[in-house]
Amino acid sequence: MRNELFEQARQYVELAKLASSQNTSEDTQTAIGKAKNALSSAYANSTVAEQKQLRELQDELNQLS
């Protein structure tokens, strides 16, 4: 069974990384905020393995801000 919240979190982190690479600070901050919310929502509804991956995504996100 696929975890939609997990998938959304991954997508939002990728969008934040893309916005960061394009050096648009307002867009980057908006994307980071959405990614943080998505990660938080996904974490509560994920397996232990998914939680590990979400922590790794959070680490990537932390490097952007």
**3-state per-residue secondary structure call for the chain:** CCCHHHHHHHHHHHHHHHHHHCCCHHHHHHHHHHHHHHHHHHHHCCCHHHHHHHHHHHHHHHHHC
Number of domains in the chain: 1
pTM, to two decimals: 0.89
**pLDDT tens-digit series, residues 34-57:** 999 999 999 988 999 999 999 999
- Residue span of the structural domain in which 34 resides: 4-64
Average pLDDT of the chain to the nearest whole number = 91
